[in-house]
Amino acid sequence: MSNKTSRRRFLKTGIVAGTGLAASNAVAEGDPLITQKQPWNQDLGSGVDERPYGMPSAFEVDVKRRSVPWLTADPVSSINFTPLHELDGIITPNGLCFERHHGGVAEYDPASHRLMINGLVDKELVFTMEDIMRFPRENRTYFLECAANSGMEWRGSQLNGCQFTHGMIHNVMYTGVPLRLLLEEAGIKSNGKWLLAEGADASGMTRSIPMEKALDDCLVAFKMNGESLRPEQGYPLRLVVPGWEGNMWVKWLRRIEVGDQPWHHREETSKYTDLLKDGKARRFTWVMDAKSVITNPSPQAPILHSKGPTILSGVAWSGRGTIPRVDVTIDGGKNWNTARMSGPSFDKSMHRFYYEFNWNGSDLLVQSRAHDSTGYVQPTKDELRFIRGKNSIYHNNGIQTWHINTKGVAENVEIS
């Protein structure tokens, strides 16, 4: 770095740090929160036995999963959404991971759980949870995005909040056994080219998965973020299919059948196919393309100050690799700035970005644009519609726009 650049950088940082961020004159004005005793330092707090399983502060009650009533025909076959605007970093806390189930949450004793491998194998096997725990395990962090995430936005901006437009995603560190090891234990016959993964819940969820993917990076996972899977996420065992659409991540995994061709079940024919402009549907579009969204500010998280130093924050991910770069605009795409990435950059995992700027208090049109490690750049919604038309549901990874008015209130809009 030349002297000139380093000096310029120093000055730039200096400006942000020295803008007198309302670290106000509270002391001089005698703020009672500083000068007087408060209940929390006069009375003793609760003891160690009162929270055997810790919960968030009572002041965080709004940080929760939410559903959209008109999308919920029946709660046991529905969806709720991750509150992305309330989170930071890259990990989704277990209690906030969005839920999608087609037959309610199956709850049962792990001692009663069995995983069967059958079909084109040398020996058909049945594993108990104890058996699975005796295979070498791995820890890996991946996003899971439902193929229907942002699906309501194909015809125009609709839902007002990134929780609803983008919240069918979570990012979790899984502990699990590589599926490859279990398949090798059974021995795959030479014509075994596909797997059928089946859930133990009432929905009987089944998906066909090509053998190359199964042998590459799939996990049979039993822990999320260090603790056992939550019932909502498939306790005691779920399939992890990194970078591929959430529907394939079969929860309550109970059976894997090895076959020589795909099964063409409901979830890969009438559902989870991509309608094209000419009325034909594309099948087996498994990979989730690069996508990003600004989580703050956003409709549920307005800017609360009138102008000055402002932090824009968001997340980006790609089913094809990592996210080396995210661009951010605050003027509807006239000027693009490179965002600052912060936090670990794992393969097929969420990435966190920030853009710090001095808000002059006028209207903003904010957007983010992800670049992934293959060189792919997140498209605009119009670019997607040019190929897919407006009647699609799945795989909408178009650029999201929020309009921020002079009061800091944000709204879901589209610009072309």
**376 in Cβ contact with 322 (< 8 Å):** no
Stretch that binds Co ion, among 133-141, 144-152, 185-193, 248-256 (CB under 5 A): 144-152
**251 in Cβ contact with 187 (< 8 Å):** no
DSSP assignment, residue 244? B
Interface with Co ion, residue 146, by CB under 5 A:
yes
Site for ligand MTE in 187-246 (CB under 6 A): 199, 201, 203, 205, 232-233, 246
Residues 6+ apart with CB under 8 A from 49: none
Interface with ligand MTE, residue 100, by CB under 6 A:
yes
Give the H/E segment covering residue 194.
strand 194-199
Q: Which does 98 bind (CB under 5 to 8 A by kind): ligand MTE, Co ion, none?
A: ligand MTE
**205 in Cβ contact with 250 (< 8 Å):** yes
Stretch that binds ligand MTE, among 18-26, 39-47, 250-258, 361-369 (CB under 6 A): 250-258
**Least separation in angstroms between CB 14 and ligand MTE:** 44
Q: Which is nearer to Co ion, 145 or 372 (CB)?
A: 145
**Least separation in angstroms between CB 179 and ligand MTE:** 15
Interface with ligand MTE, residue 120, by CB under 6 A:
no
Q: Which does 102 bind (CB under 5 to 8 A by kind): ligand MTE, Co ion, none?
A: ligand MTE
- Site size for ligand MTE, by CB under 6 A? 21
Stretch that binds ligand MTE, among 92-100, 176-184, 337-345, 364-372 (CB under 6 A): 92-100
Site for Co ion in 219-248 (CB under 5 A): 246-247
CB atoms within 10 A of CB 14: 10
Q: Which is nearer to ligand MTE, 242 or 408 (CB)?
A: 242
With CB under 5 A as the contact rule, the residue among 85, 100, 291, 352 that binds Co ion is 100
Stretch that binds Co ion, among 99-107, 273-281, 334-342, 400-408 (CB under 5 A): 99-107
Interface with Co ion, residue 144, by CB under 5 A:
no
**Least separation in angstroms between CB 134 and ligand MTE:** 24
Region of residue 132 (left: phi > 0; alpha: psi -120 to 50; beta: else): alpha
Q: Which is nearer to ligand MTE, 92 or 318 (CB)?
A: 92
List 368's β-bridge partners, or say none: 328
With CB under 6 A as the contact rule, the residue among 250, 326, 366, 410 that binds ligand MTE is 250
DSSP assignment, residue 327? E
**111 in Cβ contact with 235 (< 8 Å):** no
Interface with ligand MTE, residue 99, by CB under 6 A:
yes
Torsion angles phi and psi, residue 43, rounded to 5? -100, 150
With CB under 6 A as the contact rule, the residue among 247, 292, 313, 349 that binds ligand MTE is 247
Tokens of 19: 């803008």
Q: Which is nearer to ligand MTE, 92 or 310 (CB)?
A: 92
Q: Which is nearer to ligand MTE, 249 or 346 (CB)?
A: 249
**Least separation in angstroms between CB 149 and Co ion:** 8
Dist CA 264 CA 208 (whole Å): 7
Window 247-266: contact mask with Co ion (x via CB under 5 A): x-------------------
**Least separation in angstroms between CB 318 and ligand MTE:** 17
List 238's β-bridge partners, or say none: 221
**258 in Cβ contact with 195 (< 8 Å):** yes
The DSSP annotation for 197-212 comes to EEESSTT--EEEEEHH
Sheet containing 410-413: order of strands: 337-338, 325-329, 364-371, 401-404, 410-413
Q: Dihedral angle at the C-alpha atoms of 244, 321, 318, 209, nearest 10 degrees?
A: -10
Residues in the chain: 416
**Least separation in angstroms between CB 148 and Co ion:** 6
**Least separation in angstroms between CB 101 and ligand MTE:** 4
User: Strands 253-259 and 114-119, how do they pair?
Assistant: parallel
**122 in Cβ contact with 186 (< 8 Å):** yes
**Residues at the contact surface with ligand MTE, assessed by CB under 6 A:** 97-102, 144, 146, 170, 199, 201, 203, 205, 232-233, 246-247, 249-252
**Residues at the contact surface with Co ion, assessed by CB under 5 A:** 100, 146, 246-247
